[in-house]
């Protein structure tokens, strides 16, 4: 089924531009113009309100709510789930002029232009509002989330009356009243939920100030608070607001505070509603004179329902609140732009001769950095990042298999933090293993807090790839960074627990000749309850072997058995058992055809000609009865091929070719991650045309709304795959072998492209033109790599190699 681009935004190498507003794209644009800084994310909604279809979404990484799942009362099936909850609209704004309310669903506007600058992370929107009385005013909204100080955000509004003097009404505030879109419910309590309730005895004057402020819905105005009408000074004045929302079931807190700078001529009134606070200003406008309002926002969160955490949170709130005089829009923005400048220096990909893909890949890189960059431990990457509510903000095994490579080569701190998330949730994974009658740790297939959130047992109980994915992540990270300290302190405890699970979840077949996993669902979610899924068995084998090798290495380094027991609570019998199960693991491989069988019996399944399925039957989940999807050889996404990408150097090119040619025609690519994997392997097989076809929408999946569901949020993990598609695909980089290696090729339509990767403290630039590939260390020292089967030591000089035909 062909996916068709829906070109709406203007092409530009470093900006995403919407010229003229089409209401049909309102929600898609809200997703596209999402801002994020890992800590929080906000959709690109019209902050002044939009009475037509809109998802006013504002999310914090790790702030979630719970929903009961109607349990089927079987052991191992979860009874409640968690979802990232829609929270405070800190850009809340209302604008009215002469009794007319600014609402782009209703008023007349022209010269609408919205643009996101990928270089700086600033989103701007401008238009001319033509009132019914003929007045015209140009308005520009600007916003950013700080990358350098993640709790901070800025909003700036400029008003330019073109043909009149007059009074404008503007309200700015903090709004916790928005419902969670997926459930229609609001999950916040703003008055009673303050953290100090149970610690009154220990309050000092500052916490008292906060709690008093909370009780008064947190209004402070220039330290000279007046409830009803503000006495305004001659100089430009600033007003401040402060509201704390507490999630109803999880007891997490968001403190949202802001300082508003308004012109000295403005008069303001406080507006209070339940869960909302704002100041309504009246501002004098002068014809052809620009009036600017800025709002600097600080959002602090407390993720744990815990007295001592609440206290610490209060202290942090106090500090920020007391320091609000130092909230400066321009300074904050300048620091954030500096952050972006550094990142682009390390991560940019330049494509010449393909403006759309140039824009697309930069948008992907921008989103990857926005979504995650290692700000703090304890968070992960939701399937939609922080841009929407689909997939409930849950992180999947995509993190380790699709996202981690990007971070390993672009932001090591972020890469490590992603793995630390798994370490910090190891106890949850151990509980989950117990629920599933296993020893060790069984990592959740979907999670926010570490707890399994997938209510479909056929996924949450049968998919082992979250657990083996963590092991793969540790293996990749350690291999590429030599971070032995991480391995010893965090990696080994995880590897041991995962291995324990692997040797208890597996079974031997009837005659004891084959060890492997029964009743599983591999990466391909169209084959359920299968035995000896090749991917699962191979990943299981390599995980067990890796754990064994690591432990053996420790011994070789002189650690005694007893020291190992003391440090890791694992006996040598157990370690030997890991090896035995790894050795006994059965891999369904057919030497005659070079084919790996996706699972035992897969080759005998009924064949479906996927090209013959009518286009109107897609997506199949909506048009085919649930069980029918599972009864044939059609696959949803790469499974054997995924394995061959992850451990690429383990397979010969002939094996890859045979399996690619067998499985690709059976794949319907219903996962957005599927085409990139196929594109990368097609490049390796020199099927360049096919590689470029699969690449097709990788970089522009959301910009061109290929799946027609960008309105729900961005396909964040696909965005990671788009990066891999260029670096691993056309660049031919492989990181799983002895040496980092490259086999660059270039798509026919491109003039040249280049990418940069960070590797062991060095930044390597790879430039590929029609004829030659150039390698250069931009920062750092010599690096030994393999290029087209030969080894080279890269340094700061340019190594030029001809591209073979």
**Chain Cα centroid distance, residue 328:** 29
Residue environment code for 472-486, b if the CB has 16+ CB neighbours within 10 A, otherwise e = bbbbbbbbbbebeeb
Burial class (CB in 10 A: 0-12, 13-18, 19+), 11: middle
Among 217, 461, 499, 533, binds its own copies (CB under 8 A): 461
Going by C-alpha positions, the residue among 143, 140, 126 that lies closest to residue 36 is 143
The smaller minimum CB distance to its own copies, of residues 413 and 590, is found at: 590
319 given a catalytic annotation: no
Which member of 196, 318, 525, 670 is catalytic? 525
Only one residue has tokens 């340094």, namely 795
Among 2, 70, 99, 556, binds its own copies (CB under 8 A): 70
Binding mask 592-611 for its own copies (x = CB under 8 A): --------xx-xxxxx----
Question: Smallest distance, Å, CB 457 to its own copies?
Answer: 6
The sign of the dihedral angle between the CA atoms of 337, 364, 688, 8 is: negative
The smaller minimum CB distance to its own copies, of residues 147 and 668, is found at: 668
Among 99, 622, 789, 797, binds its own copies (CB under 8 A): 622
Distance CA 315, CA 324 (A): 14
Can residue 508 be called a binding residue for its own copies (CB under 8 A)?
A: yes
Q: Hey, which bits of 528-669 come out as E strands?
A: 589-590, 595-596
Could you give the dihedral angle defined by the CA atoms of residues 224, 225, 228 and 232, in that order, rounded to the nearest 10 degrees?
Answer: 30
Can residue 74 be called a binding residue for its own copies (CB under 8 A)?
A: yes
Q: Are strands 152-161 and 291-302 parallel, antiparallel or unpaired?
A: antiparallel
Question: Smallest distance, Å, CB 796 to its own copies?
Answer: 55
Question: Smallest distance, Å, CB 43 to its own copies?
Answer: 24
Among 209, 284, 435, 736, binds its own copies (CB under 8 A): 435
H-helix or E-strand spanning residue 582? helix 572-584
Question: Smallest distance, Å, CB 386 to its own copies?
Answer: 25
Among 244, 462, 538, 720, binds its own copies (CB under 8 A): 462
Give CA angle at 504 (502, 506), nearest 5°: 65
Q: Which stretch binds its own copies (CB under 8 A): 89-97, 227-235, 508-516, 695-703?
A: 508-516
Among 531, 536, 671, 717, binds its own copies (CB under 8 A): 531
Q: Which stretch binds its own copies (CB under 8 A): 493-501, 571-579, 627-635, 637-645?
A: 627-635
Measuring CA to CA, how many Å separate 77 from each of 50, 460, 572?
41, 8, 34
Can residue 589 be called a binding residue for its own copies (CB under 8 A)?
A: no
550's CB contacts (< 8 A; 6+ apart) are 487, 491, 492, 495
Can residue 454 be called a binding residue for its own copies (CB under 8 A)?
A: no
Question: Smallest distance, Å, CB 458 to its own copies?
Answer: 8
Can residue 619 be called a binding residue for its own copies (CB under 8 A)?
A: no
Binding site per annotation, positions for substrate:
397-398, 636-637
Among 630, 647, 788, 792, binds its own copies (CB under 8 A): 630
Q: Which 3 state secondary structure label does DSSP give 326?
A: helix
The smaller minimum CB distance to its own copies, of residues 70 and 205, is found at: 70
Query: Torsions phi, psi of 222, nearest 5?
Result: 55, 30
Among 7, 162, 231, 529, binds its own copies (CB under 8 A): 529
Cβ–Cβ under 8 Å, residues 681 and 743 = no
Can residue 76 be called a binding residue for its own copies (CB under 8 A)?
A: yes
**CA neighbours within 13 Å on the CB side: how many for 590?**
14
Among 198, 626, 661, 770, binds its own copies (CB under 8 A): 626
Cβ–Cβ under 8 Å, residues 230 and 213 = no
Tokens of 624: 């085919």
Question: Smallest distance, Å, CB 439 to its own copies?
Answer: 13
Can residue 507 be called a binding residue for its own copies (CB under 8 A)?
A: yes
Q: Which 3 state secondary structure label does DSSP give 679?
A: helix
Size of the site for its own copies (CB under 8 A): 44
Tokens of 376: 């703090």
Among 72, 223, 562, 790, binds its own copies (CB under 8 A): 72
Binding site per annotation, positions:
397-398, 636-637
Can residue 183 be called a binding residue for its own copies (CB under 8 A)?
A: no
Cβ–Cβ under 8 Å, residues 716 and 387 = yes
Can residue 613 be called a binding residue for its own copies (CB under 8 A)?
A: no
Can residue 632 be called a binding residue for its own copies (CB under 8 A)?
A: yes
Active site positions, annotated: 525
Contacts with its own copies by CB under 8 A lie at: 69-70, 72, 74-77, 435-437, 456-457, 461-462, 507-511, 514, 518-519, 528-529, 531, 600-601, 603-607, 621-628, 630-633
């Amino acid at each position: 089924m062909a996916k068709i681009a829906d070109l709406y935004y203007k092409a530009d190498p470093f900006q995403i531009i919407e010229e003229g507003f089409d209401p049909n794209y309102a929600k898609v644009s809200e997703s596209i113009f999402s801002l994020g800084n890992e800590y929080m994310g906000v959709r690109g909604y019209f902050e002044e309100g939009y009475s037509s279809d809109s998802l006013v979404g504002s999310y914090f990484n790790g702030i979630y709510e719970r929903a009961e799942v109607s349990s089927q009362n079987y052991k191992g099936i979860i009874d409640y789930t968690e979802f990232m909850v829609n929270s405070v609209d800190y850009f809340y704004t209302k604008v009215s002029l002469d009794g007319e309310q600014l609402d782009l669903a209703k008023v007349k506007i022209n010269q609408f232009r919205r643009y996101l600058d990928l270089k700086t992370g600033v989103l701007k929107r401008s238009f001319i509002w033509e009132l019914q009385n003929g007045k015209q005013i140009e308005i520009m909204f600007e916003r950013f989330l700080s990358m350098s100080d993640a709790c901070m955000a800025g909003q700036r509004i400029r008003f330019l009356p073109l043909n009149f003097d007059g009074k404008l009404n503007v309200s700015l505030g903090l709004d916790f009243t928005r419902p969670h879109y997926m459930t229609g419910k609001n999950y916040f309590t703003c008055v009673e939920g303050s953290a100090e309730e149970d610690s009154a005895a220990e309050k000092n004057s500052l916490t008292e100030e906060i709690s008093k402020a909370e009780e008064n819905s947190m209004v402070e105005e220039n330290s000279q608070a007046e409830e009803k009408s503000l006495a305004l000074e001659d100089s430009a004045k600033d007003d401040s607001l402060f509201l704390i929302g507490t999630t109803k079931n999880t007891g997490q807190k968001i403190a949202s505070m802001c300082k508003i700078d308004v012109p000295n001529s403005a008069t303001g009134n406080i507006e209070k509603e339940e869960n909302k606070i704002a100041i309504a200003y009246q501002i004098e406008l002068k014809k052809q004179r620009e009036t600017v309002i800025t709002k600097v926002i600080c959002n602090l969160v407390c993720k744990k329902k815990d007295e001592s955490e609440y206290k610490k949170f209060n202290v942090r709130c106090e500090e920020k609140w007391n320091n609000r005089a130092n909230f400066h829009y321009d300074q904050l923005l300048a620091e954030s732009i500096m952050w972006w400048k550094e990142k682009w220096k390390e991560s940019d990909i330049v494509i010449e001769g393909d403006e759309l893909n140039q824009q697309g890949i930069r948008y992907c890189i921008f989103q990857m950095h926005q979504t995650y960059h290692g700000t703090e431990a304890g968070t992960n990457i939701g399937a939609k990042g922080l841009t929407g509510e689909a997939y409930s903000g849950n992180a999947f095994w995509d993190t380790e298999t699709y996202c981690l490579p990007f971070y390993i080569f672009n932001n090591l701190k972020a890469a490590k933090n992603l793995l630390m998330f798994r370490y910090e949730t190891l106890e949850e994974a151990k509980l989950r293993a117990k629920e599933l009658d296993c020893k060790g740790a069984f990592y959740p297939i979907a999670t926010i807090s570490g707890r399994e959130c997938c209510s479909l047992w056929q996924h949450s109980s049968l998919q082992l790839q979250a657990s083996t994915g963590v092991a793969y992540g540790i293996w990749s990270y350690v291999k590429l960074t030599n971070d032995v300290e991480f391995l010893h302190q965090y990696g080994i405890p995880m590897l041991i627990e995962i291995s324990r699970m692997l040797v208890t979840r597996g079974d031997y077949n009837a005659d004891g000749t084959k060890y492997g996993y029964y009743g599983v669902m591999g990466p391909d979610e169209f084959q359920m309850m299968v035995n000896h899924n090749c991917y699962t068995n191979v990943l299981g084998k390599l995980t067990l072997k890796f754990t064994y090798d690591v432990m053996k290495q420790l011994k070789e380094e002189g650690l005694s058995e007893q020291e190992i027991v003391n440090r890791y609570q694992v006996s040598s019998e157990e370690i030997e058992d890991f090896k035995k199960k790894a050795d006994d693991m059965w891999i369904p491989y057919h030497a005659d055809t070079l084919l790996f069988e996706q699972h035992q019996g897969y080759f005998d399944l009924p064949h479906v000609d996927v090209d013959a399925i009518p286009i109107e039957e897609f997506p199949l989940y909506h048009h085919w009865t649930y069980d029918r999807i599972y009864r044939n050889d059609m696959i949803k996404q790469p499974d054997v091929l995924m394995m061959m990408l992850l451990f690429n150097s383990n397979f010969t090119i002939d094996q890859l070719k045979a399996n690619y040619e067998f499985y690709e025609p059976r794949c319907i690519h219903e996962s957005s991650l599927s085409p990139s994997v196929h594109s990368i392997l097609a490049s390796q097989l020199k099927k360049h045309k096919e590689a470029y076809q699969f690449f097709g929408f990788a970089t522009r999946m959301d910009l061109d709304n290929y799946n027609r569901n960008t309105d729900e949020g961005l396909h964040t993990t696909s965005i990671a795959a788009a990066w891999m598609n260029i670096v691993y695909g056309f660049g031919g980089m492989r990181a799983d072998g002895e040496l980092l290696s490259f086999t660059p090729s270039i798509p026919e339509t491109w003039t040249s492209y280049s990418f940069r990767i960070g590797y062991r403290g060095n930044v390597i630039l790879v430039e590929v033109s029609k004829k030659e590939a150039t390698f250069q260390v931009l920062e750092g020292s010599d690096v030994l790599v393999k290029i087209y089967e030969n080894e080279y030591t890269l340094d700061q000089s340019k190594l030029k190699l001809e591209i073979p035909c």
